[in-house]
Amino acid sequence: MKKTLLILINVLFTLNSFSQSDTLNAPKAVLPNVYADPHITAFGKKFYIYPTTDGSEGWKSTSFTCWSSKDLVKWQYENVILDLPKDISWAKERAWAPAIAFKNGKYYYYFSADTNIGVAVSDKPTGPFKDALGVPLAKKGMLKGQMIDPMVFVDDDGSAYLYFGQGNCNMVKLNDDMISYDASKIISIKPKGYNEGSFVFKRNGKYYLMWSEFDTRDPRYSVAYATSDSPLGPFTKAEGYPVLKGKGIVKGAGHHSVVKVPGKDEWYIAYHRFKIPDGNGYNRETCISPMRFDNEGNILPVDVFEKIEAVKIQGKD
């Protein structure tokens, strides 16, 4: 009996030691408090993150913020750049999952609000932003699933594409004004495992469509991807493993975005995880990890325990 008790104590001590070590080794979140669904990008010589303000059950946040950094490590709070319902007449809450794109000398900010998608515009990446339409860009109920999680990809030729949707991934080419499209040309797909949070980028002529699988409250929340020779597909899913998933104390790693360091083939993935140590699907924090490719262009699995080093954008201001 004493021997059995001693073995049990040793097992519990080992598990506790692993948990403590695991917690200590997990990189710190890059933003303070709780923020989710980070959209990361680079403008000029700075990186920017546009997240969802987290921490309320039911995700009833009402404001969008902006953060900037010169090196990906130290982040500065800029401001509330859009506020519901003060700045948006057609929505009151559920301010989720924004994205931003630059074209025509303007910054276009796409966002979810009351499960509609809107677009606002500004002369600066830090705002203030003004509702460009006065109505949703994609209205609740217009397609199957929720009209949330917008992302806009601007191709090398200046063509811009909108991706959005929970349940299905919807995609359509935007008109040159960046605030309208031909709804009859929307393509809806559902890659195996797709749930939400689509993101598109281009590398070496190949288009990568990424998304999150499982529910954001599920510790298994993770990121997969597919590739195509066209921004509108067809896309072929990369099989074998999620690109990003939790491990140990890191749970619910997903709803990501990707940034390329200007002038380099160096990539980073921003994502949220359950706040360590006691977070959940309503209390998530934003992290950044390096993202790498093999010689064939396949995305390698992301190490959620790898710490990032300071990175600076070269060139003139």
Answer whether residue 302 is part of any domain: no
pLDDT of residue 23: 54
| Assigned domain for 254 exists | yes
- Can you read off the two tokens belonging to residue 258? 């990707």
Contact 113, 104 (CB under 8 A): no
| Cα 125 to Cα 148: distance, rounded to the nearest angstrom | 21
Give a yes or no: residue 305 inside a domain: no
Number of independent structural domains in the chain: 1
Q: Report the chain's mean pLDDT, rounded to a whole number.
A: 93
Strands 196-203 and 206-213: antiparallel
pLDDT on residue 161: 99
Give 37's Cβ-side CA count (13 Å radius): 31
* pLDDT at residue 205 in the model: 98
Could you list the active site residues?
37, 196
Range of the domain at 179: 30-291
The answer to the question of residue 308 being in a domain is no
Q: Please tell me the predicted confidence (pLDDT) of residue 133.
A: 99
Q: Pick out the chain residues at pLDDT < 70.
A: 1-24, 316-317
Q: Model confidence over 223-236: pLDDT tens digits?
A: 999 999 999 999 99
Q: How far apart are CA 305 and CA 27, in angstroms?
A: 6
Whole-number pLDDT of residue 317: 57
Gap between the Cα atoms of 224 and 243, Å rounded: 5
Q: What is the CATH number of the domain that holds 151?
A: 2.115.10.20
Asked whether 154 and 175 are in contact (CB, 8 A), the reply is: no
pLDDT for position 241: 84
Give DSSP secondary structure letters for 137-166. Answer: SB-TTSSSSB----EEEE-TTS-EEEEE-B
Residue 22, pLDDT score:
54
Strands, DSSP E only, in 5-59?
Answer: 35-43, 46-53
- Looking at residue 94, its pLDDT comes to 98
